[in-house]
């Protein structure tokens, strides 16, 4: 009993039964936590191992671009906490650092504000044999800026009119352009924000824009629809990555990237077919959103 004064001798020392019981319960809790942590570690290890064959293929893709002088641009777009950064890290983990760059541009300088909008992005485009991955891109002008009032209505409209021509020229002149939009649900985004708030290793990721992302969910959905409708084209289509499950999002994003370039496969036994529950074409996403609006009077995704 907890209140008992009975004692026993353990390793030459006397200890009460109640103290022994408390120590045992604490040990049980520690063992349970260790088991849980071990299961998580094993699951994480298995997931990372599952990515490795595709990461090897990405190296082969990179070698093909080097040999042919090909250029590749990959855009990573989506709401905050949708999994863009984690996917970029997995995609580039084993790639040759001399032949890829990750570009994450900050707020425009005063000089850049007076320039042609695309100018700062053009300076970041790849040379022959290089892959450039944009962690957010020129589509800031279509998503974040209009929602938060960082651009004028005229600037927004000019961008929406000009971006398809800009991308068409990019592709026509030999650049492989892959446009990925990471789509996360509102509940999952909220869960990830809570984790950022409470985890000291992730708190740096939380910005003022993040704090307002949930409140402005519907506004972001509306501009997402307009962006998809006007910029999903045959020469530069959007590919949607359902990213509630980060691992499946990373795996399938790699498959989309690998399928964009006609390199010789390193491992022909691998499954290169994207999961249709994770990877959705821009046209299918538009149909899905329009069906939501017809049924419920508003967009949900």
Q: pLDDT tens for residues 174-223?
A: 999 999 999 999 999 999 998 888 888 777 777 777 778 899 999 999 99
Q: Are 230 and 238 in contact (CB under 8 A)?
A: no
Is position 126 within any domain?
yes
pLDDT confidence tier of residue 37, bands split at 50, 70 and 90:
low
Q: Is residue 90 part of a domain?
A: yes
Q: So what's the pLDDT on residue 211? A: 74
Q: Is residue 38 part of a domain?
A: no
Across all residues in the chain, what is the average pLDDT?
92
d(CA 239, CA 179): 6
Cβ–Cβ < 8 Å for 182, 83:
yes
Residue 8's pLDDT band (cuts 50, 70, 90): confident
Domain CATH code at residue 221:
3.40.50.300
What is the distance between the alpha carbons of residues 273 and 48, in angstroms, rounded to a whole number? 19
Q: Is residue 190 part of a domain?
A: yes
Rounded-to-integer distance, Cα 14 and Cα 28, Å: 22
pLDDT, tens digit, 9 for 90 and up, residues 268-279 = 999 999 999 999
Residue 62 in any domain: the answer is: yes
* Residue numbers of the domain that contains 81: 57-296
The answer to the question of residue 40 being in a domain is no
CA distance 16 to 137: 66
pLDDT band at 5 (very low <50, low <70, confident <90, very high): low
Share of the chain above pLDDT 70, in %: 96
Q: Is residue 229 in a domain?
A: yes
- Number of structural domains in the chain: 1
Give the three-class secondary structure for 265: coil
Give tens-digit pLDDT for 66-106: 999 999 999 999 999 999 999 999 999 999 999 999 999 98
Beta strand spans in the chain (E): 7-10, 13-16, 71-78, 100-103, 130-135, 175-183, 238-242, 279-281
Rounded to the nearest 10°, the torsion over CA 49, 50, 55, 57 is: 130
The reported pLDDT for the residue numbered 39 is 77
Residue 35, pLDDT > 90, answer no
How many angstroms separate the Cα of 32 from the Cα of each of 19, 26, 29, 41, 186? 20, 10, 5, 14, 32
Asked if the structure places residue 50 within a domain, the reply is no
């Amino acid at each position: 009993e907890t209140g008992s004064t009975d004692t026993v001798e353990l390793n030459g020392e006397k200890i009460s039964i109640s103290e022994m019981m408390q120590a045992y319960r604490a040990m049980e809790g520690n063992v349970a936590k260790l088991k849980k942590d071990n299961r998580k570690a094993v699951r994480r290890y298995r997931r990372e191992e599952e990515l490795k064959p595709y990461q090897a293929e990405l190296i082969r893709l990179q070698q093909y671009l080097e040999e042919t002088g090909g250029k590749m641009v990959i855009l990573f777009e989506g709401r905050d906490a949708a999994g863009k950064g984690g996917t970029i890290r997995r995609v580039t983990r084993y790639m040759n650092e001399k032949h890829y760059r990750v570009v994450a541009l900050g707020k425009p300088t005063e000089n850049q504000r007076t320039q042609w909008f695309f100018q700062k992005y053009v300076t970041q485009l790849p040379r022959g044999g290089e892959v450039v991955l944009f962690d957010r891109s020129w589509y800031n002008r279509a998503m974040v800026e209009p929602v938060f009032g960082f651009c004028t209505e005229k600037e927004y409209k000019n961008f929406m009119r000009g971006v398809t021509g800009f991308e068409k020229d990019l592709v026509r002149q030999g650049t492989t352009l892959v446009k990925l939009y990471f789509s996360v649900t509102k509940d999952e985004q909220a869960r990830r924000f809570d984790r950022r708030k409470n985890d000291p290793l992730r708190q740096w990721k939380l910005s003022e824009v993040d704090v307002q992302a949930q409140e402005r969910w519907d506004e972001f959905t509306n501009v997402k629809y307009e962006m998809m409708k006007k910029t999903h084209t045959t020469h530069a289509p959007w590919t949607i990555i359902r990213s509630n499950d980060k691992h499946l999002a990373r795996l399938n994003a790699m498959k989309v990237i690998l399928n964009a370039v006609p390199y010789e496969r390193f491992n022909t036994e691998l499954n290169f077919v994207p999961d249709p529950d994770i990877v959705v074409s821009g046209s299918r996403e538009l149909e899905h959103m329009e069906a939501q609006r017809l049924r419920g009077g508003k967009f949900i995704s």
